[in-house]
Amino acid sequence: MTQKKYLVTGAAGFIGSTLVDRLLRDGHTVVGIDNFSTGQRRFLEKAQPTPRFTLIEIDLLHGNIVPHFAGVDGVFHLAANADVRFGTDAPRRDLEQNTIVTHNVLEAMRQNGVTQIGFSSTGSVYGEARQIPTPEDGPFPIQTSLYGASKLAGEGLIAAYAEGFGFKACIFRFVSVLGPRYTHGHVFDFVQQLKKDPANLRVLGNGKQRKSYMHVDDCVDAILLATEKSTEKVGVFNLGCPEYCEVNDSIGWITARMGLNPQLNYTGGERGWIGDNPFIFLDVQKILALGWNPKYTIRQGVEATVDFLTNNLWVYEARS
């Protein structure tokens, strides 16, 4: 494999730091950018000693990021506000962090002649999909969250840069990602609750929401595979396990792994929050056809996450 120089935004994040470690392991040079708003310095402890790794602490919204893109072969743009919930509390946050920042990254690339980009989008762009499992080219959806809308806007900008400026892009529409360094989402919340009170668990919605998940190692495998093999100007790839579970299944796996049997208190309703989607299941035939071979079931991903969290309770302090 040719050694390249990659720039990773959100390098200290969950997926970002896992990707950085993988790129370094494969012999590449990596420039990591993070503003540490949600990124964790400890996630870069493995990368930091490597001479091929440079960390740039800068804000992608307001900082002068252009010089840092010089000489880069490809960009993985993973920096984002990654929480689909609570968008209505701060309506400008998703626009700034997920749309305007993506524009800034594209401009920094264009001004440096960098044209290869991988982008972490989301299955949330499908809103409440009419077709399940949802393919990449199913019915043109209506957005249901500021998060999904802001990511779709990022996708659109990237595709327009591909058309207008000769970029080549891979856009990844993830389900929720699980595994080591996981720092937000339902497993995070449930483990936190159970550490405080092992006898009770509050569940948003009725627990019957059906969701798909994937392990971060499978996610990074897919990102690198598509980056290498996709021949499309703009390749859009769903990424997720080829299975789904109910939130109640996940609760069973979490509590079993922790050896607990709490009382479950449901807030009720088929949606856990405004914009919650009661059924997320993506058609991943396209990435499977490219040769992707996921190694973890959803249950294994949930269990790996519980193990990470219970062994790294510091992440709760770091994120509070």
- Alpha helices by DSSP H, 260-313: 285-289, 298-311
Q: Does 146 bind its own copies (CB under 8 A)?
A: yes
Q: Does 140 bind its own copies (CB under 8 A)?
A: yes
Closest contact distance (angstroms) between CB of 83 and its own copies is 14
Element (H, E) at 107: helix 101-111
Tell me, yes or no, if 147 is annotated catalytic.
Answer: yes
Q: Does 107 bind its own copies (CB under 8 A)?
A: yes
CB atoms closer than 10 angstroms to residue 138? 15
Closest contact distance (angstroms) between CB of 9 and its own copies is 18
Q: Does 156 bind its own copies (CB under 8 A)?
A: yes
x/- string (CB under 8 A) for its own copies, residues 164-203?
Answer: xx--------------------------------------
Distance of CA 225 to the CA centre of its chain: 16
CA distance 132 to 282: 7
Q: Does 103 bind its own copies (CB under 8 A)?
A: yes
Question: Can you tell me which of 95, 256, 290, 318 binds its own copies, judged by CB under 8 A?
Answer: 95
Which residues, at least 6 apart from 56, have a Cβ–Cβ distance to it below 8 Å? 31, 32, 33, 34, 68
Would you give the DSSP letter of residue 151?
H
Q: Does 133 bind its own copies (CB under 8 A)?
A: no
* 278 upstream amide cis, omega within 30 of 0: no
- Residue of 147, 213, 244, 296 with catalytic role: 147
CA distance 193 to 145: 26
Enumerate the active-site residues.
147
Q: What residue ranges bind its own copies (CB under 8 A)?
A: 87-88, 91-92, 95, 99-100, 103, 106-107, 110, 127, 130, 136-146, 148-150, 152-153, 155-157, 159-161, 163-165, 234, 236, 274-275
